[in-house]
Structure 1
Amino acid sequence: MPSTATPNAPTRGREITIVGIDGAGKSTLAARLHQALNDAGHKTILVGKHTTDVPADLELAAYVDQLNTLVYRRDARVAQECGDHYWLLALAAWYTLQDKLVIQPALAAGTHVILDNAHHKILARYAVNPEVSTELAEQVFAHLTEPDLVFFLHIDAHTALTRKGEFSSLETGHSGGADEDFVRYQDTVLATLREHADRGGWLSMDVTDMDRDQVFHTAAQALTDRLQLPL
């Protein structure tokens, strides 16, 4: 039987996702890995909460940007009035478009993807929300591309708070504006992320006592060992 493979088709890229509570250092690590992979000759893009670029299709890019504006660049009071179920579905729509129009084409073209601000933290937040079914939350994100490697940056909430210095109402689960509200909520989210890590085989890194260089070098070694992407 003749082969159906496309001649000279690029090797699929790898998706590397970084997960953790607010203040864990996700964006810092994502940026460093993105730069280091490109410097090492591995074509890589960094995808975050405001990534809306759709190569070669300006109309689609404009549409994705409009959705991003609705989801992430909106008035906080308006957001709260819309309710938890609305925001679950709005976030699912956002992650769906970003996955379909940005991440999947990049992977198919052989480009690696560093994903910051993945949906796992959204799932953790909804898991501690009694108003929304955990099963529903998991279902609306179930179709997204499965990462090749997930780094779970584990840090206690007190240390995360010290690093951040300030926080938003969302980062306390809208439970209050005091430090203890942040710590209590983030500890609850952290417990849920641990459950996901155990089920999903994530690479857990306790970064509480690690500086940025130590975190980076540990992650870089994992890329070499697990994905054969030496830096």
Structure 2
Amino acid sequence: MTAPSHAEPAPGREITVTGIDGAGKTTLAERLHQALNDAGHRTILVGKHSTDVPMDAELSEYVDRLNALVYRRDARVAQACGDHYWLLALAAWYTLQDQLVIRPALAEGTHVILDNAHHKILARYAVNPEVPTRLAEQVFAHLTKPDLVFFLRISAREALARKGSFTSLETGHSGEGDEDFIRYQDTVLRQLRSQELQGGWLSLDVTEMSRDQVFKTATEALADRLHLSV
């Protein structure tokens, strides 16, 4: 008598939230994560500081050390290393997170909400004359392709009004004034809009939308496009 076969779980879906700084990415990502779990869908939230590798403390420690090098470094060190170094360091970070956290979760049927995906990094390097755009595209090309990308569109001036403050990185190290932020972020926004043409993106103009309205629109899209009801 043969043992009954066990069907492989349906693969999870990767859902990404992108947009310029201040668009509301993290707020939406956190709400979608909570809503999907509350509705009975196994879901994890992956962000720029997600370093936990399930059931592997040694790998988790390694991922945390890389995260510290990439995101918790001294500003003077960051400037000294140069743009090419940081592109490759970021590529290493996204690769490790994709390999050790995202792909295993999807394979076991767990959905992934990805906040702070590489799309904004690509947009920033596309406006950086020191680094070839083609190089930036190549070092991220192997990452898992999302099933759905929520692109939160908002003008840089409105984003600044929501944020209130910003870092030097958020001006592209071009200055410290509000206009420096606005000029740089609007340039990044144009680059994100060019990525949108690749398909699989849902573009939402969130300028006049409340957080609840953005969330409602996103959940309706999950049900319509991915058949994930919340």
Counterpart of 1:205 in 2: which secondary structure?
A: strand
Secondary structure at 1:222 match in 2: helix
Partners of 1:173 and 1:190 in 2: CA distance: 13
Partners of 1:16 and 1:199 lie apart in 2 by 16
Partner of 2:219: 220
How far 1:77 sits from its partner (Å)?
A: 1.0
Q: Distance in 1 between matches of 2:177 and 2:146?
A: 35
Identity across matched positions, percent = 77
1:96 aligns to what? Answer: 95
Local SS of the residue matching 2:52? coil
Distance 1:10 1:177 in 2: 50
* Stretch deviating more after TM superposition (94-103 or 197-206): 197-206
Structure-2 separation of matches of 1:41 and 1:97: 28
* 1:85-164 mapped onto 2 (5 Å cutoff): 85-164=84-163
- Structure 1 residues 201 and 55: alpha-carbon distance in aligned structure 2, compared to 1, 3 A threshold: closer
Return the letter of the residue paired with 1:118.
A
Q: TM-score, normalised by structure 2?
A: 0.97
Is it true that 1:18 corresponds to 2:4 in the alignment? no
C-alpha separation in 2, matches of 1:150 and 1:199: 11
Letter in 2 for 1:138: E
Distance 2:219 2:79 in 1: 39
Distance apart, 1:68 and its partner CA: 0.3
- Distance across 1 between alignment mates of 2:115 and 2:78: 22
Paired with 2:199 and 2:140, the residues of 1 have a C-alpha distance of: 15
What is the rounded CA distance, in whole Å, between the counterparts of 1:200 and 1:119 in structure 2?
Answer: 16
The gaps in structure 1 that reach 5 residues or longer are: 1-5
Please identify runs of 4+ aligned residues in structure 1 that moved more than 3 A. Answer: none
The secondary structure found in structure 2 opposite 1:151 is: strand
Aligned length: 226
SS in 2 for 1:209: coil
Q: Which residue in the other structure is 1:3 paired with?
A: none
Deviation at 1:8, TM superposition (A): 2.1
CA distance in 2 between counterparts of 1:217 and 1:34 reads 14
Secondary structure of residue in 2 paired with 1:152: strand
Structure 1 residue 179 and structure 2 residue 157: aligned?
A: no
Distance, in Å, in 2 between the alignment partners of 1:98 and 1:44 is: 16
State the 1:116 CA deviation.
0.1
Residue type matched to 2:43 in 1? T
User: What's the secondary structure of 1:92's corresponding residue?
Assistant: helix
Give the CA deviation at 1:199. Answer: 2.1
Residue type at the aligned position of 2:114: L
Measure the CA separation in 1 of the matches of 2:36 and 2:130. Answer: 41
| 1:201 Cα offset (Å) | 3.5
Matched residue of 1:203: which SS? strand
CA distance in 1, matches of 2:155, 2:6: 50
State how far apart, in whole Å, the 2-side matches of 1:80 and 1:108 are.
38
The answer for the alignment partner of 1:45 in structure 2 is 44
With 196-205 and 14-23 compared, the bigger mean Cα shift is at 196-205
TM-score scaled by length of structure 1: 0.97
Residue 168 of structure 2 is aligned to residue 191 of structure 1: no
Contact 2:151 2:204 in 1 (8 A): yes
TM superposition shift of 1:7: 2.8
2:147·2:200 contact (CA, 8 Å) conserved in 1? Answer: no
**SS of alignment partner, residue 149 of structure 2:** strand
Q: Secondary structure at the match of 2:229?
A: coil
